[in-house]
Structure formats: structure tokens, C-alpha cells
Amino acid sequence: MKVLVVGSGGREHALAWKLARSPRVRTVFVAPGNGGTATEPGVRNVPLTDLHALADFARAEDIGLTVVGPEAPLAAGIVDLFQARGLRIFGPTRAAAQLESSKAFAKDFMQRHRIPTARHASFTDAAAAHAHVREHGAPIVVKADGLAAGKGVVVAMTADEAHAAIDDMLAANTLGVQHNAGGSRVVIEEFMAGEEASFIVASDGTHVVALATSQDHKRIFDGDRGPNTGGMGAYSPAPVVTPNVHARVMREIVDPTIAGMRAEGTPFTGFLYAGLMIDAQGRPRTVEFNARLGDPEAEVLLMRLESDLLDLLLAATEGRLDEVELRWDRRYALGVVMAAHGYPSSPRKGDAITGLPAPDAPPHDGHVFHAGTVRAEDGTLRASGGRVLCVTALGESARLARQRAYELLQPVEFEGAQWRRDIGHRAIEPR
């Protein structure tokens, strides 16, 4: 079978790499792909991003399955379009993807279905939003409603920060967030204390298969300081998700979400990612939903997945996920993101990258997934986006996986590269 992966990041490189290892897969096309998918064995890039052009390509090439990495094409309705044209695709429809694309939709949905999350209120009027902050005080969280690549959230430790965030998001819209119909809107939330984890499941609209647990590091600097990013590294499993927490997440969050979406006529088919906040008592609450795999969570999860990914995705598109049980490498996987100079505010493009291992070089306990890279005309590999590489490795413990990942990273160089030295610290240092 020929398969198509839509997207160009580290997550899509990991999806393509894993699918290329499936015995039933002949070729994996990645649209548009990156400098890593360009040279990955069994994988080919296709320079397409337009949704209709992708559907035409899938039809012409007789693609047996398309899987979508990022949120933007999902929110733009790629799944609806492919399905209308009789093409097999794994991902949520545009209506179901609102769990991610509209924070207000997600919060109202959670309220309707009693899914634990922070209390919230939505505002389009700045004066009313300011009054809400005066009434509730800090710490408090201000979020832009719409896709903001993880940057539309201010966790305000003081009321002044919250007021400034409201002015930025509602009045000036300095983030340039792509708002949903109805103009700019903010969601103001109760601050939740605890430890975060990423809980990702595959759903066929009715049944659910949980992937392994993971945790990412959202802040740019060591010690979880500095601005939020898309994720500077990840590891799996996440020790904070104990068997008891896992059972509660399934019962209190995942199952009611899948049942609720189905009951409302917008069944959720695809990867559902619940960003969790787990408090000191082990009570999980939902920070946010994403309608896709996480990045860099996908890189560490797919390193650990022993089962055939194609089998999982085909079963999911046929409503047969109740038949699937996944096998995982019992080792830890840990990935360190190398980001471009100036990331996250103004990443520099064009820096030449050296020191990478060949894509199929042994040993096989590590892999460098590419995110923002391109192969230039002269054959050199260059940075082309904020997150450039995700250097990922397996190890018997979180500590050993970390050691291996940093060993792999050591020879890799590009001007201005930024990476954290403490990925996995919560799984390694005693809590």
C-alpha cells in the first residue's frame, strides 16, 4: 500500500519513519515533508500543501491511507474533503477538530459533559474581561481563542500581567492569532497547580486505544523558564501517570469526550490528545485538547511503539479499534529538540547543519527526526523553521535514555542552535 502523511515537522518525520517500517507499506509520501523525510529510506516528499491538490494526488497515486499530522489542515476540513471524495484518511473532521481549534468550544463541551477542567469564562468585550480579573485576582490564565501554536496563552502570576494580556489579545491582537468567526475572543481560566502530562489516544469515533503516556517541556529554557514554545523535548512514559491516574483519565476525561462527541453528532475519529494537569492528590484535569498527535510527543511514542502503525490506522478508519492492542518497548524514549537561533519569537532560517548520522546508520536505539530542515540546491542541509531537529533515543531508564540522546546530539551543529540540557528532569530527579 502507498500511504500519505500530511505535514512537515518532526511528528510527520516520525510518522513516516514508522510507517515505512510496516511490511505492507510500499512507499510513504510526505507532503510537503522536510530535509529529513527527503532522505529517509522508503519515504518520498511531495511538494503539495493545497488540500484539493492533495486529494487529487491521493486519487492519482492510488494512496490507500492518508494520515494528517498538524492541526491547520484538520481545522480547514481536509478530512471532510477526502471523505467526500471517497479517499481513506485518518483524522477528525473539521467539526470534531473544534476540540482544538476553538478553546471556547472545548471549554463549553467539557462543561456540558462534566469533564474535569479549570473553571472559565469567555469574553469579547475587554472591559468585562478586565472586571473579571479584578473580581478573581491572580494567578489566573488568559487565552486567545483560536489556533496560536501554543503561544496564545498567558499564565499570569499577577493581575497586571492578566490585564496586559487582555489588552494584547482583544484590543491589539499582537499575536496575530487566526480567530474563529465572530472576531477576537479570550477565555479566562482558573489557574490549576500540578504536573502536566500528555495523554494521547486513537479513536474510531466509538472505541479508543490509549497510546503510551508522555510529557513534554513547553518552556524554552532549562528549569521550565522563559516563553512557551511548541515543545523543547519529551519523554515516554510519564511516571506521574500512575495506573490509578490512568484509569481516572480514561473514565473521567477520555471516555466521556468520545461518547459526548458521538452523541452530539460529531464523532471524533483521529488522535485525541488531552493535555492534563495532575494535582498532588492524583486528580487529573484537562488543560486543553488537541485533535492530533503532539510534537515532540509523537517522536518518543513512535520510537517505543512495537506494533504496526498501519494496522492501527486502518483499524481506526474501519471502526475496529476494539480489536487492537498495542505493544510498546518497555524502555524509556527521550527526545531533545534543537531549535533555531531566535526561536520562539523570530527563528532564523538558513543555518547549515552538520554532524548528523546517516538515516539508516546503526545502532538503532536512536534516531534524529527532522522538523524545520530543508535540503538546499547544493545538497547542504539547512535550518528552515523554529524547531529544527528532535534527537531521540531509547534507554533502560529515563536517565539512560537521556544520556543516549545527548550523546547522539553532541556532534550535531548549527549556528545559534538552542536546546535544553534538562529534558526528562521530572522523570529522573526524585519528586
363: cis peptide before it, omega within 30°?
A: yes
Q: Which residue has the cell 494521547?
A: 200
Q: Which residues contact 329 (CB under 8 A, 6 or more apart)?
A: 303, 304, 305, 306, 394
156 bridge partner residues: 140
Q: Which one of ligand GLY, ligand AMP, none interacts with residue 196, CB within 5 to 8 A by kind?
A: ligand AMP
- Which of 44, 207, 218, 375: binder of ligand AMP (CB under 6 A)? 218
DSSP codes, 161-206: HHHHHHIIIIII-TT--EEPTTS--EEEEE---SEEEEEEEEEESS
Name which of 11 and 185 has its Cβ closer to ligand GLY: 11
Name which of 48 and 75 has its Cβ closer to ligand GLY: 75
196 scored as a contact of ligand AMP (CB under 6 A): yes
Rounded to a whole number of angstroms, the minimum distance from the CB of residue 160 to ligand GLY is: 28
Q: Which one of ligand GLY, ligand AMP, none interacts with residue 328, CB within 5 to 8 A by kind?
A: none
Contact stretch for ligand AMP (CB under 6 A) within 15-23, 24-32, 150-158, 298-306:
150-158
The CA–CA distances, whole Å, from 36 to 43, 109, 349 equal 10, 38, 16
Window 194-233: residues binding ligand GLY (CB under 6 A): 216, 230-231
- Which of 22, 34, 198, 228: binder of ligand AMP (CB under 6 A)? 228
Contact stretch for ligand GLY (CB under 6 A) within 291-299, 360-368, 378-386, 419-427:
291-299
Contact stretch for ligand GLY (CB under 6 A) within 188-196, 289-297, 307-315, 401-409:
289-297
Cα-Cα-Cα-Cα dihedral sign, residues 109, 9, 304, 26: positive
Name which of 152 and 294 has its Cβ closer to ligand GLY: 294
Contact stretch for ligand GLY (CB under 6 A) within 172-180, 260-268, 292-300, 318-326:
292-300
Window 258-297: residues binding ligand AMP (CB under 6 A): 275, 287-288
32: cis peptide before it, omega within 30°?
A: yes
Q: 32 and 4 in contact (C-beta within 8 Å)?
A: no
For 296, the grid coordinates are: 515532540
The CA–CA distances, whole Å, from 110 to 235, 321, 355 equal 28, 24, 47
CA distance 278 to 272: 18
Window 82-111: residues binding ligand GLY (CB under 6 A): none
Rounded to a whole number of angstroms, the minimum distance from the CB of residue 284 to ligand GLY is: 17
> Count of CB atoms within 10 A of residue 163's CB?
18
Q: Which one of ligand GLY, ligand AMP, none interacts with residue 10, CB within 5 to 8 A by kind?
A: none
For 24, the grid coordinates are: 505492507
Q: 387 and 371 in contact (C-beta within 8 Å)?
A: yes
Pattern 148-187, ligand GLY, x by CB under 6 A? --x-------------------------------------
Q: Which one of ligand GLY, ligand AMP, none interacts with residue 180, CB within 5 to 8 A by kind?
A: none
> Count of CB atoms within 10 A of residue 386's CB?
23
Q: Which one of ligand GLY, ligand AMP, none interacts with residue 191, CB within 5 to 8 A by kind?
A: ligand AMP
Q: Which of 264, 312, 271, 301 is nearest to 289 (CA)?
A: 271
Q: 97 and 105 in contact (C-beta within 8 Å)?
A: no
- Which of 297, 308, 351, 365: binder of ligand GLY (CB under 6 A)? 297
Q: Which one of ligand AMP, ligand GLY, none interacts with residue 40, CB within 5 to 8 A by kind?
A: none
Which residues are at the interface with ligand AMP (CB under 6 A)?
118, 141, 143, 150, 153, 155, 189-192, 196, 218, 228, 275, 287-288
Which residues are at the interface with ligand GLY (CB under 6 A)?
150, 216, 230-231, 290, 294-295, 297
